[in-house]
């Protein structure tokens, strides 16, 4: 193997020789430099390979022919090789990326570049503390040189701030090192460690100076203004190097000198880390410039790494895994984002809307954002999981909470930014050139993230059983994105059908509960995909993300352990986020959906972590054997799941998200997606049924459910937008489901299940139909529609059946649910809550009437004179669902009877008795088939009677009415159903005032204002930054050392 010393030799030799080519062919000098970088990568890579596969032992490299401490020695071990490989690969890619700059700026910058990486390499390998100082200086000076790559005034002044700040820091380091030499009589790190200088008077101060200098190199909040300016002003290609490569080396150095500090160092580092993580991310919130935002995020991530290092005593042998996962995600994703910044070339994050001119770049950006936030399947997801689990196991709840809060804040600005990229208007943004040498490095790091993520997952036994084949299928679909929509639609349907075929039968045999949900998810998925045939063109990006959601949903069902469940949950969140943001005005709604989902997911994560605490297992069964913190765990998990069911207080994301979504997406995210929350609740409640704490929690849950039903329905009644009406209606319906579950009785649960199935079917029918109508008429506003009954009879019938079912009027299955609900409430004795739920049911009539009357009845609008029936591709799934609805209405026992058996496992008392089709409770009975027949006969009789009666009626055409020469310009004022419930609004409107939205806005304002205030410490004055550094040293010294 090629010895590590050749890294130095090659780099220096190259840098020195480059001088020969000063004015000569710059392509040749570039190739020369690239070769050197490649060779350095090769050396480190082969050592990494040897350590991973051939049980290579750590080796020491002596220089000058003497052993340490007399000479400087280097060390090459597994950890060194990992870091070297990471840094050198980034260096190689960065060199390729910077090709144009190097060619333009000449040979000096190439020298500086190679030497920067040589410096970082030696910094990692060296075991001599003064040598460490020298090569840190090389790295700093080289960085200062690269900062001024474009020679602008801002870059130069940032470079000056950088160089003067690092000069002070290394001065401090030097004082520390010389003092350590005085106390230890050696500069060899291994010798120094043995001496425990921390217990020597003065020695402790010396060690402190070295430690604080290394920490300051890592840019702790708030003594990091100089670094932020650099990130903003330097070329993004350089920002990538500082953020990814230099910071990784810095972290390694900290780990290297940590043994000198001893155990007392952990606490300081942890505290500094968490302050940096929280502070930096908080200030990032107000940032609207892309490069500087990346700077804040970089510093935040390094803060998280410091925190992890500081928590080593609690993380034990997991520390390395966690730190590796976070670091690799940070390094690759941040390098990728900086590089993208150089391609997009937009100063402000709003300008990133330009990036979607190239879908590949947008996908890459999404990869990096999700990797940074810690979504599956990226390494950071598994690392974060382990981190949270270990913290819970060691009772470090405050640390756990702070880390989750910091991650959440980071998610806010990252997803806001990503939202701009996907949705902000981009018509007048400049186009940017796309060069292959820039795109390739970005693609490689993205691919690396997926690959390493997969292998990190394998390292955790609970994650190793995750089935990656569906994800592979998605990758294939993504690769086929250039095909027309109908082809991908067919492939997706086939995929889901095959998926259903492989897993559904087994659930039907063994697990009726999961069967119901998996049918809703997969069959629902297939049906909504059928509607996709109505779309022309390519529908870029739609199929992969929709499938991600479905795969995530199925993973939740299939999950055997908490990690798998969480994996599926996050996958589902990611997929649905993309689905939602596809809608026309969905940017803000998708962000709010993502924030509630992330908040919910973190609560679930915390709940899981506390639940598995002390149980030595991650199986889902741990939820049923909770012993400590039971109240907190159940509350955390419940709130987490309620974010997905959009229960009151956590519902504000839903109306916009569902209302603005595409026509076939609305049913996906409404009829299907919301059931994930229901499933979560069911898992939680069935597991904790015996815990005494559940009783009080479900009591609150019951009230929440009932009030949610009322508020949701009221909100729906006052909508003028058809899809928002349906969205509010979903909130109300989910309120019923939650209410039913909260009763914790046999009938209550049966109610909840009935509502779950019903809501799936009629909300899918209604959203599909209304969506299809919207596609035809081009507006969501009901007052701009009317009289469509003759144009779209199939749509009318579908909506009619949908609202009959939803209203709970016999004979359709909504009545089944309502009948069960009444029985359950009466038997449970929840009269007050029940009354609210009943009242909500009445309000449902209001909005349902409004829905059908304003769209289909009344006057046909002038511009709709030529609209056609809704697309056949919508009619097919709609009528399939209608058939299902009819069967469920006529033969409810087919499903409810086996369901009852399942529920009886948990609630054996108060069962519904079945006698053929006749259901009996202690207070009454009902027969689905009979009711269906009776109502059917009555309906036919009445219809015949009406037809006979109105045989002679004169048909009045619309234009029989005279407008007196006036043409109405405001459609809403001439539509009968506009503001039709104004009276109710006066009476009950206060209930639907946006109190809750205002509350969340208020919270958001407070956080943003704080960030805006605090970030003024970064005055831009280099001298102030220096003062920060000195003050930081003094303050940390007096806080920790006296």
Residue list 46-75, contact with other proteins (CB under 8 A): 61-66, 69-72
Q: Are the CB atoms for 346 and 290 separated by under 8 Å?
A: yes
In this structure, is the dihedral angle defined by the CA atoms of residues 278, 281, 284 and 285, taken in order, positive or negative?
negative
Which class for 236: exposed (0-12), middle (13-18), buried (19 or more C-beta within 10 A)? Answer: buried
Q: Considering the complex, what minimum distance in angstroms separates the CB of residue 592 from other proteins?
A: 26
Q: Is 923 in the site for other proteins (CB under 8 A)?
A: no
Of the candidates 141, 155, 132, 154, the residue with the CA atom closest to the CA atom of residue 108:
141
Residue 122 or 980 having the CB closest to other proteins: 122
**Can you tell me the distance from the alpha carbon of 836 to that of 761, in angstroms, rounded to the nearest whole number?**
25
Q: Match 């080519």 to its residue by tokens.
A: 21
Residue 233 or 742 having the CB closest to other proteins: 233
Going by the DSSP 8-state scheme, the letter that residue 651 receives in this structure is -
Q: Considering the complex, what minimum distance in angstroms separates the CB of residue 299 from other proteins?
A: 14
Selected from 50, 59, 193, 205, the binder of other proteins by CB under 8 A is 205
Q: Which of residues 656-695 bind other proteins (CB under 8 A)?
A: none
Q: Match 């390395």 to its residue by tokens.
A: 320
Task: Tell me phi and psi for residue 879, to 5 degrees.
Answer: -75, -25
Residue 69 or 811 having the CB closest to other proteins: 69
**Can you tell me the distance from the alpha carbon of 559 to that of 695, in angstroms, rounded to the nearest whole number?**
26
Selected from 941, 979, 1019, 1039, the binder of other proteins by CB under 8 A is 1019
- Helix or strand holding residue 919 (H, E): strand 918-921
Q: Is 1016 in the site for other proteins (CB under 8 A)?
A: yes
Q: Considering the complex, what minimum distance in angstroms separates the CB of residue 514 from other proteins?
A: 52
Q: Considering the complex, what minimum distance in angstroms separates the CB of residue 353 from other proteins?
A: 23
**Can you tell me the distance from the alpha carbon of 547 to that of 528, in angstroms, rounded to the nearest whole number?**
12
Residue 521 or 1018 having the CB closest to other proteins: 1018
Q: Which two tokens stand for residue 199?
A: 């217990």
Q: Which two tokens stand for residue 788?
A: 């469509």
**Can you tell me the distance from the alpha carbon of 278 to that of 769, in angstroms, rounded to the nearest whole number?**
47
Q: Considering the complex, what minimum distance in angstroms separates the CB of residue 163 from other proteins?
A: 6
Q: Are the CB atoms for 252 and 193 separated by under 8 Å?
A: no
Residue 3 or 898 having the CB closest to other proteins: 3
State the SS3 of 766-820.
Answer: HHHHHHHHHHHHCCCEHHHCCCCCCCCHHHHHHHHHHHHHHHCCCCCHHHHHHHH
Q: Is 489 in the site for other proteins (CB under 8 A)?
A: no
Q: Is 505 in the site for other proteins (CB under 8 A)?
A: no
Q: Is 975 in the site for other proteins (CB under 8 A)?
A: no
Residue 287 or 769 having the CB closest to other proteins: 287
Of the candidates 307, 308, 379, 370, the residue with the CA atom closest to the CA atom of residue 337:
370
Q: Is 1022 in the site for other proteins (CB under 8 A)?
A: yes
Q: Is 953 in the site for other proteins (CB under 8 A)?
A: no
Task: Tell me phi and psi for residue 708, to 5 degrees.
Answer: -60, -40
Segment contacting other proteins (CB under 8 A): 7-15, 615-623, 769-777, 846-854?
7-15
Q: Which of residues 840-859 bind other proteins (CB under 8 A)?
A: none
Q: Is 160 in the site for other proteins (CB under 8 A)?
A: yes
Q: Considering the complex, what minimum distance in angstroms separates the CB of residue 74 from other proteins?
A: 8
**Can you tell me the distance from the alpha carbon of 349 to that of 358, in angstroms, rounded to the nearest whole number?**
17
Q: Which of residues 976-1015 bind other proteins (CB under 8 A)?
A: 1015
Q: Considering the complex, what minimum distance in angstroms separates the CB of residue 3 from other proteins?
A: 7
Q: Considering the complex, what minimum distance in angstroms separates the CB of residue 122 from other proteins?
A: 8
Selected from 91, 159, 265, 702, the binder of other proteins by CB under 8 A is 159
Residue 143 or 833 having the CB closest to other proteins: 143
Q: Considering the complex, what minimum distance in angstroms separates the CB of residue 13 from other proteins?
A: 5
Q: Is 24 in the site for other proteins (CB under 8 A)?
A: no
- Helix or strand holding residue 855 (H, E): helix 831-856
Q: Which of residues 213-272 bind other proteins (CB under 8 A)?
A: 228-229, 232-233
Q: Is 1026 in the site for other proteins (CB under 8 A)?
A: yes
Selected from 50, 175, 465, 632, the binder of other proteins by CB under 8 A is 175
Segment contacting other proteins (CB under 8 A): 161-169, 304-312, 732-740, 800-808?
161-169
Q: Are the CB atoms for 839 and 710 separated by under 8 Å?
A: yes
Selected from 30, 51, 102, 135, the binder of other proteins by CB under 8 A is 135
Selected from 142, 422, 764, 773, the binder of other proteins by CB under 8 A is 142
Sequence-ordered list of residues with C-beta below 8 angstroms from that of 134, at least 6 positions apart, any chain = none
Selected from 34, 95, 124, 206, the binder of other proteins by CB under 8 A is 206
How far CA 123 is from CA of 10, 138, 251, 308, 772, in Å, comes to 16, 10, 11, 21, 63
Q: Is 25 in the site for other proteins (CB under 8 A)?
A: no
Q: Is 1020 in the site for other proteins (CB under 8 A)?
A: yes
Q: Considering the complex, what minimum distance in angstroms separates the CB of residue 145 from other proteins?
A: 4
Q: Is 137 in the site for other proteins (CB under 8 A)?
A: yes
Q: Is 209 in the site for other proteins (CB under 8 A)?
A: yes
Question: Judging by DSSP bridges, how do beta strands 913-915 and 924-927 pair with one another?
Answer: unpaired
Q: Is 156 in the site for other proteins (CB under 8 A)?
A: yes
Selected from 219, 235, 286, 384, the binder of other proteins by CB under 8 A is 286
Q: Is 148 in the site for other proteins (CB under 8 A)?
A: yes
Selected from 1, 6, 487, 865, the binder of other proteins by CB under 8 A is 6
Q: Considering the complex, what minimum distance in angstroms separates the CB of residue 253 from other proteins?
A: 15
Selected from 28, 57, 171, 614, the binder of other proteins by CB under 8 A is 171
Going by the DSSP 8-state scheme, the letter that residue 1039 receives in this structure is H
Segment contacting other proteins (CB under 8 A): 145-153, 526-534, 610-618, 914-922?
145-153
The torsion defined by the Cα of 125, 131, 133 and 136, in degrees rounded to 10, comes to: -40
Q: Is 3 in the site for other proteins (CB under 8 A)?
A: yes
221-233 burial by CB neighbour count: b if 16+ within 10 A, else e? bbbbbbbbbbbbb
Q: Considering the complex, what minimum distance in angstroms separates the CB of residue 247 from other proteins?
A: 20
**Can you tell me the distance from the alpha carbon of 419 to that of 520, in angstroms, rounded to the nearest whole number?**
29
Give the number of C-alpha atoms closer than 13 A to the C-alpha of residue 252, restricted to the C-beta side: 30
H helix intervals, 624-721: 630-645, 654-660, 665-667, 674-687, 692-717
What 3-state class would DSSP assign to 595?
Answer: helix
Q: Considering the complex, what minimum distance in angstroms separates the CB of residue 194 from other proteins?
A: 13
Selected from 1, 16, 313, 998, the binder of other proteins by CB under 8 A is 16
Q: Considering the complex, what minimum distance in angstroms separates the CB of residue 75 from other proteins?
A: 13
In this structure, is the dihedral angle defined by the CA atoms of residues 891, 894, 898 and 899, taken in order, positive or negative?
negative
Q: Considering the complex, what minimum distance in angstroms separates the CB of residue 177 from other proteins?
A: 8
Q: Which of residues 97-116 bind other proteins (CB under 8 A)?
A: 105-106, 108-109, 111-112, 115
Total chain residues near other proteins (CB under 8 A): 97
Segment contacting other proteins (CB under 8 A): 10-18, 327-335, 403-411, 944-952?
10-18
Of the candidates 678, 684, 711, 683, the residue with the CA atom closest to the CA atom of residue 697:
684
Q: Are the CB atoms for 350 and 275 separated by under 8 Å?
A: no
């Amino acid at each position: 193997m090629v010895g590590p010393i050749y890294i130095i030799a090659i780099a220096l030799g190259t840098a020195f020789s480059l001088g020969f080519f000063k004015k000569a062919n710059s392509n040749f000098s570039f190739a020369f430099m690239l070769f050197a970088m490649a060779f350095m990568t090769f050396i480190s890579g082969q050592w990494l390979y040897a350590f991973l596969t051939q049980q290579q032992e750590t080796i020491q490299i002596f220089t000058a022919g003497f052993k340490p401490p007399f000479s400087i020695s280097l060390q090459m071990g597994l950890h060194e090789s990992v870091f070297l490989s990471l840094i050198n690969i980034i260096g190689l890619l960065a060199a390729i990326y910077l090709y144009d700059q190097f060619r333009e700026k000449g040979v000096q910058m190439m020298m500086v570049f190679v030497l920067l990486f040589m410096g970082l390499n030696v910094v990692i390998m060296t075991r001599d503390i003064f040598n460490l100082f020298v090569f840190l200086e090389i790295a700093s000076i080289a960085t200062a040189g690269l900062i001024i790559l474009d020679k602008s005034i801002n870059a130069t002044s940032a470079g000056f701030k950088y160089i003067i700040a690092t000069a002070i820091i290394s001065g401090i380091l030097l004082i520390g090192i010389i003092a350590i030499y005085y106390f230890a009589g050696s500069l060899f790190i291994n010798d120094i460690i043995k001496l425990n200088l921390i217990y020597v008077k003065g020695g402790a101060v010396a060690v402190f100076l070295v430690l604080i200098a290394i920490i300051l190199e890592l840019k702790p909040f708030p003594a990091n203004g100089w670094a932020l300016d650099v990130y903003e002003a330097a070329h993004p290609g350089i920002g990538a190097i500082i953020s990814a490569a230099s910071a990784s080396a810095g972290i390694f150095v900290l780990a290297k000198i940590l043994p000198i500090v001893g155990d007392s160092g952990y606490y300081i580092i942890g505290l500094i880390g968490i302050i940096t993580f929280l502070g930096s991310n908080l200030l990032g919130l107000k940032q609207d410039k892309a490069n500087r935002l990346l700077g804040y995020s970089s510093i935040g991530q390094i803060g998280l790494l410091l925190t992890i290092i500081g928590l080593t005593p609690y993380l034990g042998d997991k520390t390395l895994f966690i730190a590796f996962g976070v670091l690799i995600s940070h390094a690759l994703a941040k390098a990728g984002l900086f590089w993208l910044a150089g391609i997009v070339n937009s100063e402000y994050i709003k300008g990133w809307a330009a990036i979607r001119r190239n879908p590949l770049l947008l996908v890459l950006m999404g990869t990096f954002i999700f990797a940074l936030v810690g979504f599956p399947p990226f390494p950071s997801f598994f690392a974060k999981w382990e981190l949270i689990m270990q913290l819970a196991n060691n009772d470090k709840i405050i640390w756990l909470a702070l880390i989750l809060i910091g991650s959440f804040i980071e998610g806010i600005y990252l997803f806001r930014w990503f939202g701009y990229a996907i949705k902000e208007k981009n018509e007048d943004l400049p186009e940017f050139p796309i060069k292959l040498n820039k795109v390739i490095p970005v693609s490689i790091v993205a691919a690396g993230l997926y690959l390493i993520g997969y292998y990190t997952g394998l390292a955790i036994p609970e994650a190793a059983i995750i089935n990656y084949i569906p994800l592979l299928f998605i990758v294939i679909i993504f690769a086929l994105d250039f095909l027309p929509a109908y082809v991908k639609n067919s492939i997706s349907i086939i995929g889901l059908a095959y998926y259903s075929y492989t897993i559904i039968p087994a659930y039907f045999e063994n697990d009726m509960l999961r069967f119901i949900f998996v049918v809703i998810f997969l069959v629902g998925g297939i049906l909504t995909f059928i509607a996709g045939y109505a779309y022309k063109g390519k529908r870029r990006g739609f199929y992969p993300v929709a499938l991600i959601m479905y795969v995530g949903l199925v993973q939740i069902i299939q999950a055997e352990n908490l990690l798998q469940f969480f994996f599926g949950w996050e996958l589902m969140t990611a997929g649905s986020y993309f689905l939602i943001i596809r809608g026309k005005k969905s940017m803000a709604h998708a962000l709010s959906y993502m924030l509630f989902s992330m908040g919910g997911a973190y609560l679930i994560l915390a709940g899981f972590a506390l639940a598995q605490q002390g149980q030595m297992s991650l199986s889902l069964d741990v939820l049923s054997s909770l012993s400590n913190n039971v109240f907190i765990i159940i509350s955390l998990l419940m709130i987490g799941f309620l974010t997905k069911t959009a229960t009151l207080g956590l519902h504000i994301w839903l109306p916009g998200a569902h209302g603005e979504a595409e026509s076939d997406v609305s049913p996906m995210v409404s009829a299907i997606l919301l059931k994930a929350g229901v499933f979560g609740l069911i898992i939680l409640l069935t597991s904790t049924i015996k815990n005494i704490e559940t009783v009080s929690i479900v009591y609150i849950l019951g009230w929440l459910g009932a009030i949610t039903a009322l508020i949701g329905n009221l909100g729906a009644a006052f909508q003028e937008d058809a899809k928002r009406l349906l969205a509010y209606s979903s909130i109300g319906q989910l309120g019923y489901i939650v209410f039913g579950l909260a009763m914790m009785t046999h009938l209550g649960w049966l109610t909840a299940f009935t509502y779950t199935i019903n809501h799936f079917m009629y909300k899918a029918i209604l959203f599909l139909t209304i969506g299809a109508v919207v596609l035809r008429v081009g507006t969501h506003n009901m007052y701009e529609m009317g009289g469509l009954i003759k144009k779209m009879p199939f749509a009318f019938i579908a909506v009619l059946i949908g609202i009959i079912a939803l209203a709970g009027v016999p004979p359709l299955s909504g009545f089944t649910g309502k009948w069960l609900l009444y029985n359950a409430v009466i038997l449970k004795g929840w009269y007050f809550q029940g009354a609210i739920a009943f009242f909500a049911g009445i309000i449902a009539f209001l909005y349902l009437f409004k829905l059908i009357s304003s769209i289909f009845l009344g006057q046909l609008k002038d511009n709709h004179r030529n609209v056609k029936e809704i697309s056949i591709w919508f009619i097919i799934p709609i009528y399939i669902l209608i058939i299902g609805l009819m069967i469920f209405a006529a033969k409810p026992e087919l499903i409810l009877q086996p369901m009852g058996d399942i529920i009886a496992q948990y609630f054996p008392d108060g069962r519904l008795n079945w006698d053929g089709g006749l259901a009996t409770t202690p207070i009454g009975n009902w027969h689905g088939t009979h009711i269906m027949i009776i109502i059917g006969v009555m309906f036919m009789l009445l219809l015949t009677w009406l037809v006979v009666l109105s045989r002679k009626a004169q048909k009045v055409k619309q234009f029989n009415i005279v407008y007196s020469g006036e043409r109405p310009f405001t459609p809403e004022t001439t539509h009968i159903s506009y503001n039709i419930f104004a009276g109710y609004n006066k009476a009950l409107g206060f209930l639907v005032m946006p109190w809750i939205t205002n509350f969340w806005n208020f919270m958001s304002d407070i956080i943003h204002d704080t960030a805006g205030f605090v970030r003024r410490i970064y005055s831009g004055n280099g001298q102030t930054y220096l003062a920060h550094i000195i003050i930081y040293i003094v303050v940390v010294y007096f806080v920790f050392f006296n």
